[in-house]
Amino acid sequence: MNKPVETVFLAQSSQSLHSSQSSQAAGSEKWSEERILGIKRWAPQLFSLRTTRHPGFRFVPGQFARLGLPLRRDEPDGEVVWRAYSMASASYDEHLEFFSIVVPDGEFTTRLAERQIGDSLRIEKNSFGFLTTDRFAGGRDLWLLASGTGVAPFLSILHDPQVWQDYENLVLVYSVREARDLAYSKTIAGLPQHVLLAGSRARLHYVPLVTRESVAGTLSARITEVLADGRLEARVGVSLDAAHSRVMVCGNPQMAVDLRRQLTERGLQVGRRGKPGQLAFENYW
Ligand SMILES: Cc1cc2nc3c(=O)[nH]c(=O)nc-3n(C[C@H](O)[C@H](O)[C@H](O)COP(=O)(O)OP(=O)(O)OC[C@H]3O[C@@H](n4cnc5c(N)ncnc54)[C@H](O)[C@@H]3O)c2cc1C
Ligand SMILES: NC(=O)c1ccc[n+]([C@@H]2O[C@H](COP(=O)([O-])OP(=O)(O)OC[C@H]3O[C@@H](n4cnc5c(N)ncnc54)[C@H](OP(=O)(O)O)[C@@H]3O)[C@@H](O)[C@H]2O)c1
């Protein structure tokens, strides 16, 4: 199995945890108890977790899992808080990886942020969601538009070798407030050299946007603005239209509303039963 390109996780050996302590499926429960293998802190309010993976856990890149933590640490069998989390790891990785914000006073994220390597968390055995490329038909270019942690499902999709064969251009647009929030930049830069992706048909275009600072090499405006004024297409050198483009949007719900309006005006549509479209959205709150 291939490891993701970013290897700077503070990590415990997955071998030792896999053999002894991982994947405690609680009888016929719909969740399993998994262990934290590694933690990467990107910024004070952003971190990633690697966990063990139940052997029965399957997902399509772009889907999410439901993670659970006890409300009270001293009552591990008491009330549990559950939240949706996109898989950031490849579907073929032995581990799972999640990329998380810490919401001030957030019921789940303040608890998740306290977890250490070797601690456990619950993961439902089923995966969910429709932010997957199989909902599209045809298309030359895949546009992945993310705000904040909404980049997570796109990291998983961009590790899928099939996507690199199906499209000519893969465009990742990643909007954050400050430069320090731009996580996974080494992983993204390394994708074209990844052992499973090198030599594929697609070309990767990475467009980072930093909206509250001026940073060299990035655009200093929201996705909605650079789409509206043409800077996004000019930067990539590819036009965004219904004939050639398939567009996924993930993260901030107001951004999704605004982008939906802009893209619909360009003739792109969300698919309906039996009629594939060109748009797919996932709101994080
Ligand atoms: C399908 C789906 C997939 C998700 N995947 C992820 C993921 O991969 N990573 C992740 O960090 N979160 C993800 N979320 C959000 C996640 O489920 C929780 O909302 C988040 O962890 C905060 O939980 P909380 O209990 O601390 O705060 P909550 O009470 O759940 O949220 C409080 C407020 O915090 C803000 N907020 C919540 N989540 C985010 C976020 N991700 N970024 C910025 N502001 C936010 C919103 O204003 C929200 O109203 C996803 C949500 C959905 C519906
Ligand atoms: N990121 C931080 O530094 C930080 C620090 C402390 C707390 N928090 C907490 O984290 C949460 C927000 O996290 P976040 O920064 O990851 O998410 P966010 O507020 O959704 O911002 C992420 C990116 O999306 C952009 N965006 C927001 N609304 C948009 C819209 N309608 N259309 C287009 N683009 C839009 C933002 O641009 P703009 O910058 O123009 O809004 C930013 O570039 C809040 O609960 C906040 O309290 C964040």
Residues with CB under 6 A from ligand 1: 64, 83-86, 98-101, 103, 106-109, 129, 148-149, 152, 282, 284-285
Q: How far is the CA of 223 from the centre of ligand 2 (A)?
A: 12
**151 lies in the same domain as 260:** yes
Residues 153 and 182 placed together within one structural domain of the fold: yes
**Strands (E) located in the chain:** 10-11, 24-25, 31-43, 46-51, 64-70, 80-86, 96-101, 120-124, 141-147, 169-176, 203-210, 245-251, 279-283
C-alpha of residue 44 to centroid of ligand 2, in Å: 14
Ligand nearest to the CA of 255: 2
Q: What confidence score (pLDDT) does residue 273 get?
A: 85
pLDDT at residue 9 in the model: 61
CATH code, 40: 2.40.30.10
* Distance from residue 68's CA to the centre of ligand 1 (Å): 13
Ligand 1 atom 34 nearest Cα: 103
**Residue 104 and residue 140 in one domain:** no
- Going from the Cα of 56 to the center of ligand 2, the distance in angstroms, rounded, reads 35
Both 105 and 241 in one domain: the answer is no
Q: Per the domain annotation, does 93 fall within a domain?
A: yes
Instruction: Tally Cβ neighbours within 10 Å of residue 228.
Output: 14
Q: Which ligand is closest to the CA of 220, given by its number? A: 2
Q: In terms of DSSP bridges, do strands 169-176 and 203-210 run parallel, antiparallel, or are they unpaired?
A: parallel
Gap between the Cα atoms of 83 and 100, Å rounded: 11
CB atoms within 10 A of CB 88: 28
**Does residue 85 form part of some domain?**
yes
- The residue out of 105, 124, 143 marking a domain boundary is 124
Specify if 3 maps to a domain: no
The Å distance, Cα 263 to ligand 2 centre, comes to: 21
Last residue of a domain, one of 68, 90, 124: 124
Q: How far is the CA of 177 from the centre of ligand 2 (A)?
A: 6
Which pLDDT score, from 0 to 100, does residue 3 have? 44
Tally of domains within the chain: 2
Q: In this structure, which residue's CA is closest to atom 4 in ligand 2?
A: 45
Q: Is the domain of 120 the same as that of 141?
A: no
pLDDT tens, the chain, 285 aa long: 344 434 446 554 444 444 334 566 556 789 999 999 999 999 999 999 999 999 999 999 999 999 999 999 899 889 999 999 999 999 999 999 999 999 999 999 999 999 999 999 999 999 999 999 999 999 999 999 999 999 999 999 999 999 999 999 999 999 999 999 999 999 999 999 999 999 999 999 999 999 999 999 999 999 999 999 999 999 999 999 999 999 999 999 999 999 999 999 999 999 988 899 999 999 999
Atom of ligand 2 nearest to the CA of 210: 43
Measured CA to CA, the distance from residue 76 to residue 24 in angstroms comes to 14
Distance 284 CA to ligand 1 centre (A): 5
pTM of the model: 0.94
| Alpha-helix runs per DSSP H in 13-160 | 14-20, 109-114, 152-157
Q: Please tell me whether residues 165 and 213 are part of one structural domain.
A: yes
Pocket lining for ligand 2, CB < 6 angstroms: 45, 101, 103-104, 147-148, 175-178, 181, 211-212, 222-224, 251-252, 254-255, 258
Domain that holds residue 146: 133-283
Nearest listed ligand to the Cα of residue 42:
2
Of the ligands numbered here, which is closest to the C-alpha atom of 48? 1
